[in-house]
Structure 1
Amino acid sequence: MLLFGHLGITLGAFIGLQQLIPRLKSVIDLRYLAIGALLPDLIDKPIGKVIFASAFANGRMIGHTLLFSCLLVLAGIYLYQKRRDTRICTLALGSFFHILEDQMWGRPQTFLWPLLGWSFPRDSIDYTGFEYLIKMLEGSFKPEFSQTYIAEIMGIGIIVIFTGIWIKKRLNQNSSD
């Protein structure tokens, strides 16, 4: 899954949950949820595919582990107990949803790291670094329909719908003032 899939599906799930459980509106900050939904890729892709590409050759490493999400949860619980601040818990929730959306349980060596060893599996892709960025850009223009593109289209659709609802609410508020 890419940017819009992670953002749209995660935000859509929680906006839907907020309709069912209104108290979540005061607990979950959607900005931190959105950052959390992208956090594993924001950490792993630059490190494993660009900066240290020759060493790691993998865009799913530390940020895509269960340990990373659990450490975020522990930090969130600590911050909540000290200051009643739910932002880090919300960030952890977004990060956990990211690894669920990526179906990381299917890659146990990464998902359960370091329980199954200290190294991360290398991708079978033979291009890394700047070449990886070029290949990603080229691949985004190929009209092949895959699971990734379906998730991206769903994510974009969810973002467009909720943005439209938000704009409509803002316009209604401004016209009533």
Structure 2
Amino acid sequence: MAYEPWISLNLFCWRKPLMFVFGHAGLTLMGYQILWRKKAGSPPIGVPQLTAILFFSLLPDLLDKPLTLWFFQEAASTRWVGHTMAFSLMVCAAVYFFIPSLKKWVWACPGHLLLDGMWRSPHTLFFPLLGWEMDPGSDPRISFWEFLASSIHRVVSEPELVLPELLGLLVLLLALFRLKAFLPGRARVAQSLPRLQP
């Protein structure tokens, strides 16, 4: 049997972790809220900050899922270039140089890889350092609706996957309640707009 340099990591790749929208967005927001409160004198997280956190926390999936399900179905997995460390580093660098007001929130992008457990897929995470082949995963040769249905079924049928989604959903609902974003009143939203830059 040929020696595989990443065999010690591949032993843990038999079960790929799955996290859906609420898990990624809610848990990332919870992490930011915990860190935010530890900083003395920090204002509460407002609508612009919440929008930035949601965008960056979902960015790898917003890129990879449409690309692999609709355009590049020959890919080995629906976790593709957006789930590489190289992509996250490029996004962080671009934000730091061109949109520095968002530099605090861009860390939600590499945080997505952490929540997905991408260390279990080293050939994807460190692409192209370990070669041009990525680790296999969810088959992209299905329709978007088939992928969505199978993902939802797996999340609701496996207890270890339900908890992060419920917790993330709870965090998001509490954040919306605190912002009162679901109530009429544009003044409340407008008051938080200048708070984007700490």
Question: Into which bin does the TM-score normalised by the smaller protein fall?
Answer: 0.7 to 0.9
CA distance in 2 between partners of 1:124 and 1:167 (Å): 38
Report what 1:51 is aligned to.
71
Report what 1:32 is aligned to.
52
Q: C-alpha root-mean-square deviation of aligned residues, in Å?
A: 2.9
Shift of 1:166: 2.1
CA distance in 1 between partners of 2:29 and 2:165 (Å): 13
Report what 2:120 is aligned to.
106
Q: Indicate yes or no: 2:32 matched with 1:17.
A: no
CA distance in 2 between partners of 1:73 and 1:113 (Å): 17
Report what 1:133 is aligned to.
145
The amino acid across from 1:42 in the alignment is L
Q: Is the 8 A contact 1:32 1:91 kept in 2?
A: yes
Segments of 5+ residues of structure 1 without an aligned counterpart are: none
Shift of 1:4: 0.6
Closer/same/farther in 2, CA of residues 141 and 111 from structure 1, 3 Å limit: closer
Aligned to 1:96, which of 104, 107, 110? 110
Segments of 5+ residues of structure 2 without an aligned counterpart are: 1-18, 189-198
Q: Which secondary structure state, in structure 2, belongs to the residue aligned with residue 92 of structure 1? A: coil
Q: Which secondary structure state, in structure 1, belongs to the residue aligned with residue 98 of structure 2? A: helix
Closer/same/farther in 2, CA of residues 96 and 116 from structure 1, 3 Å limit: same
CA distance in 2 between partners of 1:34 and 1:15 (Å): 13
Aligned to 2:96, which of 77, 99, 108? 77
Q: Is the 8 A contact 2:76 2:134 kept in 1?
A: no
Q: Is the 8 A contact 1:36 1:91 kept in 2?
A: yes
CA distance in 2 between partners of 1:111 and 1:78 (Å): 24
The amino acid across from 2:152 in the alignment is S
CA distance in 1 between partners of 2:60 and 2:147 (Å): 21
TM (norm. structure 1) is: 0.78
